[in-house]
Structure 1
Amino acid sequence: MVSLPNIICFCILIFLAKTVHSRQSYDKSDCSSQSQISGSNYLCSSRFPCDTYVVYRAQKNFQSLSSVSSLFHLGLDKLLDINKMIKADANNITIGQEIIIPIRCSCTGQFSQAIVMYNFSNSDSFASVACGVFEGLVKALSLAEENPGDPHQSTMRVPVRCACPDADDRRNGVEYLVTYPVIEYDNADLIAAKFGVPETMIWEANKLASFSTIFPGTTLLIPTKDVPFVNSVINADPAPSPTEVIPLKKVTSSTETTILHRQLVLGVGIIAAVILMIMPFSAFICIRRKNHPRNFQPLSARSSASSNLSPDFLDGVSKLKYSLVNYSLEELRIATEDFNKASVIGKALYRGRIDGLNVAVKHMSSEDAARHIISILTKINHLNVLRLEGCCYGSTPYLVFEFAENGSLKDCLSNAKMSKQLTWAKRMQIAFDLAVAIHYIHYCTKPAYVHRNIDSTSALITMDWRAKISGFSLAKPLIWSNEKEETNWNESVVVGTEGYLAPEYLSDGIASLKVDVFAYGVVLLELISAKEVTVGGNFLKDSVNFLEDAGFETSSGSVDELKKFMDPNLEGDYQLGEAMCLALLAKACIQNDPLNRPTMNDVLKALSRIV
C-alpha cells in the first residue's frame, strides 16, 4: 500500500538529488534572525555571473538618489536612467519610495551574492546594517560570517542577496530575478501588480505554495522579462476592508428601472452581508470575554493576521450569499445570437457575450436543478471554483457562468496543439488548483460538499491556464456524525462519470469525501499521461501497476515504464522526480479501500512539497 508519508519522504529525496535551479527557497525568518536556514542565502544556479536588480526604499539617512547611489557605489546618471527620472528629481524622492538598483550577481562557493562595501561605524551593529541600512537585503548572520572579527571603524563587505535565472527560466522568458525586501502590509498580489507579473510566477520562483504567508524583514525574488519598473501608484493599504463585497455585474438593459432595481438589490445585499458578518462575531467576543477570560499574548510585528477567528464568525461567513444578476431572456438571446449553433460549446451550453465579456450560458433541465446549483454557488466564492454570474427564470431556467477560454481539461489533453501548450509547469499548477478547489468544498464551506462529478470535463481551464471546477449539479451536502468524521450514505442510484467512480460507490452506493479523492486521482493520471479514461474498464488505474506497492524502488525498469506512461506531447520536458511523485500520489488516491486513500488535506500537503 502506498502511504502518503512515504510519498512525501520519497519526493523530498528526489528533489534533494536533482539539479538545483534558480527557483529558490523562501526564508520566512527576518533579517535579524540568528538562524541560517534554507533560503537564508540564495543558491548558485547554472548561469553566473549575471546582471540583475534589487529594490531599495528611500529612508531618513538615504533620502536622495545621490546618497543611494553612493551607498551602492553607482553612478547617479545610471540610477536616473534605470528609474526613468531626471536630475531635478534626484533630491526630491520621498521616504519609502522604491528605487531599482542594478547589481552584478556572482557565485561565491554555493551561494549567490553581490558584494557592496560599507563603512562600519561604532554606532552600527550587524543587525542595524542588515535590517536598517540595507533593509533586509542581507541577513545579519550572513553579514557576520562575511566579516569575522571586530569590524568597527573599518570597511565591511555586505553580501546582498541575489539570484540569476537558469536555462528553464530563460526558456520561459524570464531575464531577471529581482530581490525585493518585504515590508508590512505587503502581499503577493500587491507585489505582482507593482511589477506587472503574474502572481503564480512569484510563488514558483520562491518555491512557495499559492497564497502562502509572507513576512516583513524577508526577501522575495520577482521574475521579470524586462528591466524591472515599479508602479509607484500601487501601494499597500494599511487598513484593508474586513470583507470583500462582490459587486453586481453591469448588464445592458432595456430600461433604467431594471438597472435601478439591480443596484437596489446590491445595496441591500451589502448591508445584509455586513450585519451577518458583525453580529455573530460581536456576540461571540462578548460571551467569551464574560465567561472565559484569557491571557493574550501580543502579536509580533511580523504577524500578518490574527489566527483565532471564532467558529461563529467563520460559520457566519460560510452562510453569506452574494447577489446574482437577474438576466432577461432577451438579454441572453442577444448574447448568444439567439442560441444559434455557432454558439454551442457543450450539451445545452452556449457561449455568449455580455457587456464585452464572454460568458457561458447553461440551459437547465428544471427549476429544481437550477435552484440546487444556485444554493451552492452563491455561498462559494473561490478562485478555483467556476463563478456563477447570474440566472434567468422563465418557462425554462438558464444559469450564466464565467467563461473558461481554454475549455475543459479533457479538451486540452485530447487536442494535440493545445496539449503541446500544456507545459509541465502548467500541468503542475492545474493539479494544485484542482486539489485546492476540492479541499475548499470539503473543509472550508458549511455545509461541506461531496462533488461526486470530478472528472476532466468538469475541470475547466482559463486563458492563463488556471483550473476551476464546475459541474455542481450532483454535489451533495455532507452529513457529520460528530466533529471529526463524516457519515457515509448509500445511494440507490449511482451518478457520475464512469471511469472516475470509486469502487465502493459503484458496488454499494457508499458515498463519502473519498469518492472525490478517487476521481481526483484518475484526473491526475490523465493530466500526466493524456491517456483517455475507458468506459467500463480500469485502463488508467492498471497502467500504474509498475509503481511498487511495498516501497519506492526507482529501478531503471520503473523509470522506463514511467517515461512510456507520460504524455508524448511533453517531449520529455519535465522533471522525472516530480512526475514520479505525481504518479505515486495518484496511485494513493485510487486505492480500492477508501480508508487507504489520503484525504484532500493530505493531498495538499504532498503537493505543497512537489509543486
Structure 2
Amino acid sequence: MIHLWFIASLCISSSSAQAAQQFYDSTNCSTYPDTYPGSRYTCKTPQDPCETYLVFRSNQRFHNLSEISKLFNLNPDTLLQKNSHLNSSSQFLEAGKEVLIPVTCSCSGDFYQVSFRYIVPENTTFSEIACGVYEGLLKSFTLEQDNLNKTIAGAELNVPLRCACPDNSTALGKKVKYLVTYPIIRKDSDSDISAKFGISEEDFFEANDLPQFSTLFAQTTVLVPLRDGPIKITDIPESSPAPTSGFLPTLPVAKTERFKNPTSLYIAGSVIGFLLLIMAIVVSVLCIKALRKWKSESVQPFTPSTSVVMPPMRGSSTTSCLSPDFLAGIKYCLVNYSIEELRMATKDFSEETQISGSVYKGLISNLEMMIKRMRFEDTRRLIDLHSKINHINVVNLLGVCYDERDLLWSYLVFEWPKNGCLRDCLSDACNLLCWKERTQIASDIATGLHYFHRCAFPSYAHLNVSSRNIFITKDFRGKLADIAAPDNLVNGPVSEKEDIFAFGVVLLELISARENIEGKLVKDSVGFLGGAGNEGGCFEGLRSFMDPNLKDYHLAEALCLAVLAKACVADDPLHRPTMDDIMKVLAKTVSPRQPEK
C-alpha cells in the first residue's frame, strides 16, 4: 500500500525531477510495524553487489577502532586505512566520533543489505540492539523478523544492516559511486550532512527522494551520494564565527608613490571626501528603508513561512497531501515518537504520571520526559516557535507524536529538568532552595523573557509565566516552559507588560515561598514597601515576609528584589519596568560574590 506521506512528497516535488534513488523513512528505529517505503532500501533483481560504507559513531562501549572492528567483523588495520583522520586502531575516540565502515552491499530478495552476526551478551530487546548497539542502521522490526525469540543471552543474531547501491538508470546514479548509509542524530540537518561530505544539497535531496527544506528525524537513516575518490568526513563546528560587520569590504592596499604635488593631494582629498559623503547618504537611506520595513513586519500577525503539510495518518480517508515534512524549516532534529511509546511511558496517561492538566511525565529510553497533549491544529505553531527560540533558559523540545487513531490530538515531548517545577521546589522543606540558587533562578527567568521580548525576531510574549511553568535543572538553573502565546507581540507593550507582572509574582514567591492564590499574595505582600513608616519598619516587614526556612539571605539584596517585584506588579502597566530595566537591576543585585576569607 502506498502511504499518504509518500503521495505528499510527490505533490510537492517537481514533476520534471529525475527519478530518485531511494525513499527516506521518517519513522524512528523502534517504530512497529516496519511497512513504510524507505524502511529498507529496495533493489532490482538481479543486481550486482557494490562496495560502499556505513557511518558508525563511537560510544562508551565502542571507543576505539579495535572495539568497533569486532562489532563489524573487520580487520582493525582495514578500518584504520579507510579512516585516515585517525592515527591508530587503539586511539581513544570521544563519544560521537564518526567512523566509516567499509561493507559489500548486495541484494537479498527485494532489499539491499549487508549481514553481520551478533552474539547477545545478556537478555535484552530487539530495539536495544537495533537502535542502541547498531545506532539505527536497521529497524528493530527488521531485526525481529530475522531472529524470532532470540534476545536471550548467548543467542546469535543475523543483523541485516541498511545499505544501497547507485541506480545507473538515473542521472544521479550515473555520476556517483557510493551511497553511504548515515544515521541521523539530533541537530543534524541536510546542510550539515552535505558540508560534512562535500556534496551538494540538491544531490542529497535527490538521493533520498526528499523535497527541499525537508525535516530530518533522529534514529532514521539517509543516503549520502559520493563520487569516486577518497572519502573524508569533515567535522562541522556547532556554530560558525560571525562575519565581520561593516558596509565596505576590506581590500589589500598596494604601496603607491607619495603625492609630490600638494595640489594633487588637495584634489584627491576633495574627491575622496565627496565620494564618502555620497556613500554615507546612500547607506543612510538604505538603513532608514530597512528599519521601516522591519518595523512594519514586526507588528504583523504570525503567518507560517512555509505551507502547512500535515503528518502521516494511516487509514485516514482524507485526500489531502500529507507528509512528515510537517516541520519544514526547523534547523534541529525532532524525534518522531509513536503513540505506543508515549502510552507506555505514561502508563496510558494515568493520573499517577499527570503533572498538570494535559501535561504528563514519562520515562522514555531511561530518560525522564515531559509530554504535553494538545490539539492537532496548535502543534505546528508551537513547533515553529521552538525552532526559532532555542535558548538555554527555555525547556527544550525533543520530539513529536501524532495519534493516527485520534486525529484531533497530538503530543509534544520536552526535556524534564531534574528538579521539577519551581513551585514544588519552594514547597519542599526537605530540599530547600538556598538564597543564591533563588537569585540565580530569578536571573535565568529574566534572561529568558528578555530573549523573548528583545532578542527574538519577531518578538514574542510568553503569557504563561508562573512558578508552575518554571522548571529547575540539576544545577538549580531556571527554564521557562509551557509557552501560551506562539504569536509575536501584536499588542506591543501590553503583552510584554503581562509577562512583567507575572515575573514580579514569581519574584515574590522566590522571596517568601508562598504561592500566589488569586492574586492575594501580590496584594497582601507589598504593603510594607509603600513608603509608610521608617526604614526599620520596612526591614521588619520584609523579614516577616521572607521564607522562614531561609537563613542565608542578604537583607539588602532581598529588599532590592522586593522593590523590583513591587514595580513589576504595579496596577498601571505603563508604570511597570521593561525587561531591559529588570536585567540592569539583576545584573547589580545577582552578581557572583567572592567567597569570604
TM-score by length of 1: 0.45
User: Is the radius of gyration larger for structure 1 or structure 2?
Assistant: 2
TM-score by length of 2: 0.46
